[in-house]
A = this chain, B = another copy of it.
Amino acid sequence: MEAKSAKIRLYVDHPLGQGQSIDLAREQAHYLFGVMRLAEGAAVALFNGRDGEWLAKVAEAGKRGGRLECIAQTRPLQMPPDLWLLFAPIKKARTDFIVEKAAEMGAARILPVQTDFTNSERIRQDRLQAHAVEAAEQCGGTYVPEVAELQKLSRMLDHWPADRRLMFCDEALADGAPARSGLPDDPAASERGTSEPWAILIGPEGGFSEAERARLHALPQAQAVSLGPRILRADTAAVAALTLWQSSRGDWR
C-alpha cells in the first residue's frame, strides 16, 4: 500500500545533515538517472538508519555517478521497539519474505538461528540484509534492522540475556492457551516510554525438537504463545507473532 505518487526513497550508507553532499555509487546513479530518469534538481528522500529522513536534490547526474545534496530533514529517526526476531531459515523465497516482513513490521534485529530440525546450514547474510534495506525503503521506515549471521539456537539460549523476554510459538499449544492471554497488554510499558527488551522465536518446519521445547519451557524469560487452531507456515507465523507483539506491547498502540 505505497502512496500512488511515491517519491523515490533511497537508503544510503552516508551521514545525512544540513548541507551534506552525497556522492553516488555507480549502481545508485544507474537506478536514479537511468531507470527512474531523474534530472538535476529533482527531489529524492534519503535515510541511512541513523539520521532520520532527509529531502535531497540531484546536484549532478551522470551515467556512472552523481551527487545529491541534503536540503532539510523531513522526519526524525524513528527507532522500532527493542524487539528481536529469531527464525529458522526455510526455503529461499520464504526466508526472504520473513526478512522483508520483519523490517516492515518493526523488528529491531533479525537473527537467523539453526535449530535441531533446521535444514539450512548457511544463509546469504548480505542478500538478506539487502532485502531488509529494500523493505525499509518501501515501508517509509527510517531504521534498517541488522540481519545477523546464522547462529545455533542452543548457543544463543546458553547466553540468553537475563532482561530480554522471549515469546516462542509452540505448535503443541494449538488447542490450548489463546494467543492474547499469553501476551497481555502492558500499559505500563508505554508510560515508561521505553519498551522492555523482547524477542520472538519462530520455529522451523517440523517444529522444535523435544529437547528444545523442554529447554524453552524451562527458560524463565520465555513465554509460550499459541497462534490458533491451524498450523501456520513459518512465514505466516512470523507476521502473526509480530502483529500480536506490536499491538499489545510495541509501537502499534
Contact = CB atoms under 8 A, between A and B. Distances in A.
Given A206-B4, A207-B3, A251-B228, A233 B104 contact: yes
A182 to B, nearest CB: 10
B105 A240 contact: yes
Given A104-B233, A179-B252, A231-B140, A2 B205 contact: yes
Interface string A224-239: 0011111111101101
A179 B233 CA distance: 24
A169 B1 CA distance: 10
Copies of this protein in the assembly total: 2
Contacts of A185: 180
B3 A236 contact: no
Size category of the A interface is 35 or more
A253 B106 CA distance: 25
A239 B204 CA distance: 19
A151 interface: no
24 contacts: A1-B204, A1-B205, A1-B207, A2-B205, A2-B206, A105-B228, A105-B230, A106-B228, A138-B233, A139-B230, A139-B232, A140-B230, A140-B231, A141-B230, A178-B247, A179-B243, A179-B247, A180-B185, A180-B247, A228-B246, A236-B239, A239-B240, A239-B243, A243-B244
Interface of A: 1-4, 78, 101, 104-106, 117, 138-141, 169, 171, 178-180, 185, 202-207, 226-234, 236-237, 239-240, 242-244, 246-248, 250-253
9 tightest A-B CB contacts, nearest first: A4-B206, A228-B252, A243-B243, A239-B239, A179-B247, A178-B253, A240-B243, A139-B230, A179-B252
Given A178-B253, A229-B252, A240-B240, 14 more contacts: A1-B203, A1-B204, A1-B205, A2-B206, A3-B206, A3-B231, A104-B232, A104-B233, A106-B228, A139-B232, A139-B233, A228-B250, A228-B251, A239-B243
